[in-house]
Amino acid sequence: MIEKKILKKGQVVIPKDVRDLLGLHEGDKVFLDIERDTIMIKKEQDITAELKSLAKKYDKRLTVEDIKGSLKERYGA
């Protein structure tokens, strides 16, 4: 676990080694997900990589139904 202090304007710095590990760069979007007393920072996903991963999972060409099913499974949409 990494401990960081909140700065004057409410900012928290993501350490360089963590940014490097996740491939985060200046200007990239991240998403904050809040669950009770926990904040998760998620990297914006490249949709192309996400779809390739799904295609590999299904071991076939993706259909709209495959994508919708995966989204429901992942996000409860």
Tell me, yes or no, whether 37 and 64 share the same domain. no
Range of the domain at 73: 45-77
The pLDDT tens digits for 10-20 are 999 999 999 99
The pLDDT tens digits for 40-58 are 888 877 677 677 777 777 7
Hey, is 2 helix, strand or coil?
A: coil
Tell me, yes or no, whether 2 and 38 share the same domain. yes
Tell me, yes or no, whether 20 and 32 share the same domain. yes
Tell me, yes or no, whether 7 and 26 share the same domain. yes
Average of per-residue pLDDT across 3-12: 94
Tell me, yes or no, whether 32 and 55 share the same domain. no
- pTM given for the model: 0.53
Q: Measure Cα distances from 46 to 23, 27, 30, 35, 69 in Å.
A: 12, 14, 12, 24, 19
Contact between residue 30 and residue 43 where contact means Cβ atoms under 8 Å apart: yes
In the chain, the number of structural domains is 2
Domain of 4, CATH number, reads 2.10.260.10
Cβ-count burial 40-51 (b if 16+ within 10 Å, e if not): eeeeeeeeeeee
Tell me, yes or no, whether 31 and 17 share the same domain. yes
